[in-house]
C-alpha cells in the first residue's frame, strides 16, 4: 500500500513495478465495487477499467469513485 500511495507501484525500478513485463494492455470491460469498513468509518470504492501485462501476471485497476462517511 505504501508503494502504491507514493506512486512507485508501477515504476520499473521497484520490485513492485518490474514484474518481468513492461507491456500493458487496457481492459475496458472491468468493474469492481466494494465497501471498506473500519471501526469508525465506511467507504464505498468503485473501479472501472484497468491495465493487464502481457504475461497476465499483474493487473492495475483504475479507481473511479471513492466516498466515505
Kindly list the domain boundaries of the chain, sorted by start residue: 22-69
Any idea what the Cα angle at residue 59 is, between residues 54 and 62, rounded to 5°?
125
1 or 50, which is more confident? Answer: 50
First CA to last CA distance, the chain? 21
pTM over 0.75: no
pLDDT of residue 56 exceeding 80 = yes
Q: Of 32, 34, 22, which is closest to residue 61 (Cα–Cα)?
A: 32
Amino acid at each position: 500500500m505504501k508503494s502504491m500511495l507514493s506512486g512507485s507501484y508501477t515504476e520499473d525500478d521497484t520490485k513492485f513495478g518490474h514484474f518481468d513485463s513492461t507491456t500493458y494492455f487496457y481492459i475496458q470491460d472491468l468493474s469492481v465495487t466494494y465497501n471498506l469498513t473500519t471501526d469508525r468509518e465506511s467507504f464505498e470504492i468503485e473501479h472501472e477499467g484497468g491495465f493487464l501485462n502481457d504475461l497476465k501476471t499483474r493487473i492495475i485497476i483504475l479507481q473511479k469513485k471513492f466516498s466515505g462517511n
